[in-house]
Structure 1
Amino acid sequence: DIRNVTVLIDKGGGRVLVLEENRVLDTFPLRNVHGGVKFSERGFYVPTRDGWVAYYDLWEGRLKAKVRACIYLRNIALAGDRLATSCVLPSSIVLFDRELRPLAKVELKGNPSAIYGLGEDGFVLAFRDIPLVGRMDVDGTLSYFEVDTPLEDFFIDPFREFIIGSSRKEKKLIVYELRTLRKVFEKDIDGLAHLFSAGFWYSGGSFYFATRHAGSTKVSLWKMYEWELLREIDTGGTGFFVRTSPQIPHLWIDNGDDSFLLLDKKTLNLSKLKIAEDHRVTHVEFSADGRLAYVSVKGKINGFYLYDPLTLRYKGMIRAEDPAGKYNYLLKRERFSPALLGEEVFMAKCWGCHHSTREAFGPSLEWIVTNRSRDYIESKLKGLLGGSMPKIPLSFREIRALISFMEAIKHEERFVERGEKYQ
């Protein structure tokens, strides 16, 4: 099942591991990995700090290409049939096709903080040192837009409507409309919000994100689209990441010690999971089905520790010299970000009448996505069509999330059927 493919980075060993659940499918050498793995339908791309990008084809089960984009690379992004690298040295964007054949080099006015893909609409980037946001087409045409302050860290919301950014100098969290770059919100915060590693979830009719603050003991919880700071939590330690998935009841927050802080997504109650005495846990990723949590643990016994994220029971370990990032095919594909929230909307609003695979009070979700068009489903969700089922009040973003979830199920079933390489 390609959805449960997870890529693990062993920095100390200079290798990349390809897993399906707890089974190592393959490994290949690659050093100085940095900036986040990106997945396509066929495989994944791994960047390194010193400017290399490697492409691994999952269907062929092999490392297929490796190319150097620059001397010092920040991160990579996918949009349309293009891959873009944001480079610090020299300050530029280098464009490739999906086979890593170079297409264009675009010089930049400043030091990029990151670049993100916008599907078929190209890319967006910001800068650490100048107050500009760039929009770039897939052919490399770049336009600049002024903003209030350099966005040293930022993300694009799951529905691709807003840029949420932070500034170390100004100590603010700022929100801009993505289409117009009109500022819609700003608030003073403690330090620099580490937005690249934020976690997203849905609960009680609203969408949320949580983020750590770089160099701070704070975690802040925000209500998206209403742009409200719900709470700041002083964790007593410094960490980097907030992670969750639709099947997981908690946010997992690393804290620079031997434990994870677990924040209940419904009640916001905080608990602690001790992983390994006298070790340091740094980063967690989950399998797409929510049955496994992969935890990077450093200390006397380094490795990727496996846990059941529901029972919190230890399930095993994969040894590594310096375990670092982990990236799941489904959870880390930006095109599925609305669908992941849509799964939580489905469980909250629809699951009582529509089981995922079996008929209940209404037809199963599997039957609906197979036999109904998008227009029909959207009209039904908006209450424009009659029927015996009770009408459920839904916001337009809840509807978008649900439709994305259904389309993801329909889309991914085709690729699961093709996953013969590792059967």
Structure 2
Amino acid sequence: MNDVIFLRTSLQALVAAVLFTAMGPASADDTRDLYQVQCASCHGEDRLGGIGPALLPGNLSRLKPEAAETVIRDGRPASQMPAFGEQLDDGQIRSLAEWIYRAPEVEPTWGRDEILASHEVTHPDGSLPDEPRFDADPLNLFIVVETGDHHASLLDGDTFERIHRFETRYALHGGPKYTPDGRYVFFGSRDGWITKYDIYNMEVVAEVRAGINMRNIAVSGDGRYVMAANYLPHSLVLFDAHNLDLMEVYPVMDKDGESSRVSAVYAAPPRSSFIAALKDIEEVWEIPWPLPTEPMVSTGHTTSPQRSHDTANFQVRRIPVPDYLDDFFFDLEYEHVIGASRGGQGGMVVNLDSGEKVADLPLEGMPHLGSGITWEYEGRRVMATPHLTKAAVSIIDMTDWTVVKTLETDGPGFFMRSHANSPYVWVDVFFGPNRDRVHVIDKKSLAIVETLIPEPGKTAAHVEFDRYGDKLLLSLWEEDGAVIVYDGDTLEEEKRIPMSKPSGKYNVWNKTRYEEGTSH
């Protein structure tokens, strides 16, 4: 993919525009005019993005305004963003940074026509060789997302050598998703881009933009479909996974016409369906996909020339719930969904077959259910979740939905990970002054048995095991960070791989086999 398509810095064109004027913009009108003259060609007239990313408040949520000023002043290492501290005074820098965080005067739209126009197929499905270009176990590979300079690394899960490093879209979000055979991986970005990447050939094969502010994507259990969840516009979008051809756009609204942002969409393979969490409607949506043995007939929807689909299989089933559910966790059979209530004061369990609430959960402190995991404890299955605003890990009996134990931690956490073959659970304390620590919990005793500090003062977060549960990777979540390899039994550090703010690490086996120790 050419370099122009992959301009990554959301501020570069804006800063370059300032170089054409001796003084910074004196008013909002001046700033608007300057944007149209100098920036619209890359970022779109309505700031919806083009060859550069969208410049809207929701899309810049990971970049604080103060940090934006720093980037303008000092540049961004290992990127195309230079420093302009010598050319611009503090007032100009502040004015420029403030502009991109202003809400647009007209609500932007992104529908079927815009999605179709964005679609690009570089290598049509089946056009690249079927054998990997590397000598490694295809099911024990890791994709590591490096958010510091918008790249991803492909790691051999046996040797932990880097096979390849490649550029990604700006601000990936929601975790990459694999096809069941592990050959393809799909990335989703904050500004709506879905990228299909052929791991065997290390090539981008197709891209499409599903929305303006996208939360995440999900891939069906058979690898044939991709669904995107959007904050803006309020929609779910369905694609044929082979070439990312558009199949259906679902406006998300209730029976009274009230629309909703979509918090996330998940694949539920045992149910052959997608499950969507809605931010502003007291409903959960289930959208089934057809089984591979079902005949597929054309219904006139836009698909690839070689494939057609019966979109009657993708009808929405609305499941009313007593509260807004922002975050989800599923039992292993996908019979129940455990959702966090708005405000973080608890959760509830809903039976997806009956649509009935079966339990309330006393989970104060905003549980991060999306990172929850399960394991067997004294003959019963338990789930555990960290909390985003409370220094605790809650462990819940999934038989009667009672709290078995609440562990006190050194701070609120974000990620939990384990493996069926590991005796331990790892949880970070991502938020607060102790973010350089990670706790190790014994599954049998339900006690914290070790607290590691990989590097004092640097954020330690997000563990992922290899396919066997023998080794694991932990991130030093810093611009000059690293991925650290640990022995899963001795807890000893074995290796460090320098990386630029490595956020998530995703093992092919664990993600495609829905390993119980990783989030789904």
Shorter-chain TM-score bucket reads 0.7 to 0.9
Q: Residues 149 and 170 of structure 1 are in contact (CA less than 8 Å); yes or no, is this contact kept in structure 2?
A: no
Q: Residues 361 and 401 of structure 2 are in contact (CA less than 8 Å); yes or no, is this contact kept in structure 1?
A: no
Aligned to 2:165: 27
Q: Distance in 1 between matches of 2:505 and 2:218?
A: 17
1:72 aligns with 2:213: yes
Q: Percent same amino acid among aligned pairs?
A: 30
Which residue identity lines up with residue 106 of structure 1 in the other structure? Answer: Y
1:50 aligns with 2:217: no
1:200 aligns with 2:384: no
Aligned to 2:462: 283
Q: Which runs of 4+ in 1 moved over 6 A?
A: none
Q: Distance in 1 between matches of 2:514 and 2:417?
A: 16
Aligned to 1:318: 497
1:98 aligns with 2:248: no
- 1:173-322 matched pairs, under 5 angstroms: 173-256=347-430, 257-270=435-448, 271-299=450-478, 301-322=480-501
Which residue identity lines up with residue 235 of structure 1 in the other structure? Answer: T
1:152-185 deviation digits (Å, cap 9, x = unpaired)? 1112221111011111337222101111111111
Q: Residues 278 and 299 of structure 1 are in contact (CA less than 8 Å); yes or no, is this contact kept in structure 2?
A: no
Q: Residues 13 and 320 of structure 1 are in contact (CA less than 8 Å); yes or no, is this contact kept in structure 2?
A: no
Aligned to 2:273: 122
Q: Distance in 2 between matches of 1:236 and 1:61?
A: 41
Q: Residues 37 and 46 of structure 1 are in contact (CA less than 8 Å); yes or no, is this contact kept in structure 2?
A: yes
1:332 aligns with 2:511: yes
Q: Residues 15 and 27 of structure 1 are in contact (CA less than 8 Å); yes or no, is this contact kept in structure 2?
A: yes
The CA deviation at 1:267 is 1.1
The CA deviation at 1:244 is 0.4
Q: Distance in 2 between matches of 1:143 and 1:182?
A: 14
Partner SS state of residue 330, structure 1: helix
Aligned to 2:16: none
Partner SS state of residue 3, structure 1: helix
**Structure 2: which 5+ runs fail to align?**
1-136, 254-259, 290-310
Count of matched residue pairs: 339
Which residue identity lines up with residue 177 of structure 1 in the other structure? Answer: N
1:9 aligns with 2:9: no
Q: Distance in 2 between matches of 1:70 and 1:279?
A: 34
Q: Residues 148 and 479 of structure 2 are in contact (CA less than 8 Å); yes or no, is this contact kept in structure 1?
A: no
Partner SS state of residue 6, structure 1: strand
More displaced stretch, 165-174 vs 84-93:
165-174
Find 2:225's aligned residue among 64, 82, 101: 82
Q: Residues 277 and 326 of structure 2 are in contact (CA less than 8 Å); yes or no, is this contact kept in structure 1?
A: yes
Q: Which has the higher contact order (CA 8 A, sep 6+)?
A: 1
Q: Residues 168 and 191 of structure 1 are in contact (CA less than 8 Å); yes or no, is this contact kept in structure 2?
A: no
Aligned to 2:103: none
1:36 aligns with 2:200: no
Which residue identity lines up with residue 358 of structure 2 in the other structure? Answer: V
Partner SS state of residue 331, structure 1: helix
Q: Distance in 1 between matches of 2:247 and 2:478?
A: 43
Q: Residues 479 and 500 of structure 2 are in contact (CA less than 8 Å); yes or no, is this contact kept in structure 1?
A: no
**Structure 1: which 5+ runs fail to align?**
342-423
Q: Distance in 1 between matches of 2:411 and 2:206?
A: 40
More displaced stretch, 254-263 vs 167-176:
167-176
Aligned CA distance change for structure 1 residues 84 and 166 (closer, same or farther; 3 Å)? same
Partner SS state of residue 336, structure 1: coil
Which residue identity lines up with residue 72 of structure 1 in the other structure? Answer: N
The CA deviation at 1:337 is 4.0
TM-score, normalisation: structure 2: 0.63
Q: Residues 478 and 501 of structure 2 are in contact (CA less than 8 Å); yes or no, is this contact kept in structure 1?
A: no
Q: Distance in 1 between matches of 2:265 and 2:412?
A: 26
1:166-213 deviation digits (Å, cap 9, x = unpaired)? 113372221011111111111332122110011221233111111011
Q: Residues 156 and 163 of structure 1 are in contact (CA less than 8 Å); yes or no, is this contact kept in structure 2?
A: yes
The CA deviation at 1:299 is 4.9
**CA RMSD for the aligned pairs?**
1.8
**Which of these two proteins has the greater Rg computed from alpha carbons?**
2
Partner SS state of residue 510, structure 2: coil
Which residue identity lines up with residue 197 of structure 1 in the other structure? Answer: S
Q: Distance in 2 between matches of 1:222 and 1:328?
A: 26
Q: Distance in 2 between matches of 1:141 and 1:55?
A: 25
Q: Distance in 2 between matches of 1:225 and 1:3?
A: 33
More displaced stretch, 120-129 vs 101-110:
120-129
Q: Distance in 2 between matches of 1:86 and 1:201?
A: 29
The CA deviation at 1:64 is 1.7
Q: Distance in 2 between matches of 1:232 and 1:13?
A: 38
The CA deviation at 1:300 is 8.3
Partner SS state of residue 325, structure 2: coil
